[in-house]
Structure 1
Amino acid sequence: MHLDQPDLVLLSARLLDPATGTLLPQTALAAAHGVIVALGDDREVRALAGPATTVVDLRGAVVTPGLVDGHLHPVSGAERTRGVDLSGCTDLADVRAALADAVRELAPGAWLRGWGLDPNTFGDEPVAAASLGPVLDGVPTLLDLFDGHSQLASARALELAGVDGPRSFEQAAEIVCDADGRPTGLLLEDAACEVVEAAAPKATLDEVRDATAEVLRRMAASGLTGGHAMDAGGDSLAIYAALEERGELAVRLRVAPIAQPGTDEPAVSSLIAQQGTGGALWQVAGVKLFMDGTIDNGTAWLEQPDCDGQSTHAFWPDPEAYTRVVAQLHAAGVPTNTHAIGDAAVRHVLDSVAKARAAHPEGGAVRHRVEHIETVPDDTVARFAELGVTASMQPTHCCEYTRADHTDNWSRRLGEERAARAFRCRDLWDAGVRVVLGSDWPIAPFPPLGVMAGARHRRPGDLSLPPHGPEQALTPLQALQGYTLHPIWAAGDEHHAGRIALGHRADLTAFAHNPLTVPDTDLVSLPVLLTVLAGRPTHRDGSLG
Structure 2
Amino acid sequence: MTGADLIVLADRIHPMGAPGPAVTALAVRGGLIAALGTRDDVRDWRGNHTQVIELGGATVTPGLVDGHSHPVMGLDLTRGVDLSTVSTIDELIRALRAAPRGEWLCGWGLDPNVFGGAPITYRPLVEALGADVPVYLTSADAHSALVSPQALALAGITGPRDFASGASVVCDPDGRPTGHLLELEAMEPVRALLPADDPADRRRRLLDLLRRMAAAGYTAGNAMDFEGDALELFRALEAAGPLPMRWRFAPFVMPATSAADLARVVEQQRLRGRRWRVEGAKFMIDGTVDGGTAWLAEPDTHGESTAPLWPDPAGYSAAVRYLAERGVPTVTHAIGDAGIRHVLKTLGVLPRRSPVPHRIEHLETMPADLLPQFRALDVTASMQPTHCTHYTRADHSDNWSSRLGPDRARRAFRCRDLREHGARLALGSDWPIAPFDPRAIIADARLRRPAGRLDTEPVLPGQALTARMALEGFTTQAAEAAGLAGRSGRLAPGYAADLVAFGLDPLTAGPDEFAESPVLLTVVDGEVVHRADTPVSP
TM-score range (shorter-chain normalised) is: over 0.9
Query: In the alignment, which residue of structure 2 is the partner of 1:404?
Result: 394
Deviations 1:83-134 (A, max 9, x none): 11111112122221111110xx324xx2111111100011143211113452
Matched position secondary structure for 2:331: strand
Matched position secondary structure for 1:510: strand
TM-score, normalised with respect to structure 1: 0.94
Cα–Cα, structure 1 residues 24 and 337, in superposed 2: closer, same or farther, change >3 Å? farther
Cα–Cα, structure 1 residues 364 and 10, in superposed 2: closer, same or farther, change >3 Å? closer
Which moves more between the two structures, 199-208 or 473-482?
Answer: 199-208
Shift of 1:55: 2.4
Query: In the alignment, which residue of structure 2 is the partner of 1:136?
Result: 129
In the alignment, residue 88 of structure 2 is paired with which amino acid?
D
Shift of 1:519: 1.0
Aligned length: 534
Query: In the alignment, which residue of structure 2 is the partner of 1:11?
Result: 9
Shift of 1:11: 2.1
Deviations 1:145-197 (A, max 9, x none): 00011111111222222222221111111111111221111111111111001
Matches within 5 A, 1:69-218: 69-102=66-99, 105-107=100-102, 110-137=103-130, 138-218=132-212
Query: In the alignment, which residue of structure 2 is the partner of 1:274?
Result: 268
Shift of 1:335: 1.2
Matches within 5 A, 1:134-533: 134-137=127-130, 138-247=132-241, 249-356=243-350, 360=351, 363=353, 367-461=357-451, 462-533=453-524
Mapped contact 2:63–2:489 kept (Cα < 8 A) = yes
Deviations 1:346-388 (A, max 9, x none): 00000101122xxx3x638651100000000011112222211
Deviations 1:485-512 (A, max 9, x none): 1111111111111111111111101011
Cα–Cα, structure 1 residues 136 and 24, in superposed 2: closer, same or farther, change >3 Å? farther
Shift of 1:49: 4.2
Cα–Cα, structure 1 residues 483 and 32, in superposed 2: closer, same or farther, change >3 Å? same
In the alignment, residue 107 of structure 2 is paired with which amino acid?
G
Cα–Cα, structure 1 residues 262 and 133, in superposed 2: closer, same or farther, change >3 Å? closer
Deviations 1:21-75 (A, max 9, x none): x675332222233211233333543564456543211112110000001000001
Matched position secondary structure for 1:253: strand
Query: In the alignment, which residue of structure 1 is the partner of 2:531?
Result: 540
Q: Is 1:65 paired with 2:62?
A: yes
Shift of 1:258: 1.1
Mapped contact 1:367–1:389 kept (Cα < 8 A) = yes
In structure 1, distance between residues paired with 2:275 and 2:382: 22
Cα–Cα, structure 1 residues 23 and 244, in superposed 2: closer, same or farther, change >3 Å? farther
In structure 2, distance between residues paired with 1:129 and 1:19: 54
Cα–Cα, structure 1 residues 29 and 19, in superposed 2: closer, same or farther, change >3 Å? closer
Shift of 1:521: 2.5
In the alignment, residue 10 of structure 1 is paired with which amino acid?
V
Matched position secondary structure for 1:363: coil
Deviations 1:292-323 (A, max 9, x none): 00000000000011000101111111100111
Mapped contact 2:10–2:59 kept (Cα < 8 A) = no
In structure 2, distance between residues paired with 1:134 and 1:52: 66
Q: Which runs of 5+ in 1 are unaligned?
A: none
In structure 2, distance between residues paired with 1:335 and 1:173: 26
In structure 2, distance between residues paired with 1:540 and 1:480: 21
Cα–Cα, structure 1 residues 306 and 12, in superposed 2: closer, same or farther, change >3 Å? closer
Task: Report the RMSD for the aligned CA atoms in angstroms.
Answer: 1.8
Mapped contact 1:9–1:46 kept (Cα < 8 A) = no
In structure 1, distance between residues paired with 2:81 and 2:476: 36
Mapped contact 1:175–1:187 kept (Cα < 8 A) = yes
Which moves more between the two structures, 155-164 or 186-195?
Answer: 155-164
Mapped contact 1:275–1:286 kept (Cα < 8 A) = yes
Mapped contact 1:399–1:454 kept (Cα < 8 A) = yes
In structure 2, distance between residues paired with 1:323 and 1:513: 45
In the alignment, residue 403 of structure 2 is paired with which amino acid?
R
In the alignment, residue 222 of structure 2 is paired with which amino acid?
H
In structure 2, distance between residues paired with 1:364 and 1:33: 27
Poorly superposed stretches of 4+, deviation over 3 Å: 3-7, 46-54, 362-366
Mapped contact 1:293–1:315 kept (Cα < 8 A) = yes
Shift of 1:533: 1.1
Matched position secondary structure for 2:388: helix
In structure 1, distance between residues paired with 2:14 and 2:355: 29
In structure 1, distance between residues paired with 2:529 and 2:20: 24
Matched position secondary structure for 1:355: coil
TM-score, normalised with respect to structure 2: 0.95
Which moves more between the two structures, 409-418 or 175-184?
Answer: 175-184
Mapped contact 1:14–1:24 kept (Cα < 8 A) = no
Shift of 1:4: 6.0
Which moves more between the two structures, 335-344 or 208-217?
Answer: 208-217
In structure 1, distance between residues paired with 2:411 and 2:447: 16
In the alignment, residue 472 of structure 1 is paired with which amino acid?
Q
Matched position secondary structure for 2:484: coil
Mapped contact 1:290–1:315 kept (Cα < 8 A) = yes
Mapped contact 2:2–2:47 kept (Cα < 8 A) = no
Mapped contact 2:143–2:182 kept (Cα < 8 A) = yes
Shift of 1:226: 0.7
Which moves more between the two structures, 474-483 or 461-470?
Answer: 461-470
Deviations 1:253-295 (A, max 9, x none): 0111111112233322222222242012111111110100000
In structure 1, distance between residues paired with 2:91 and 2:48: 56
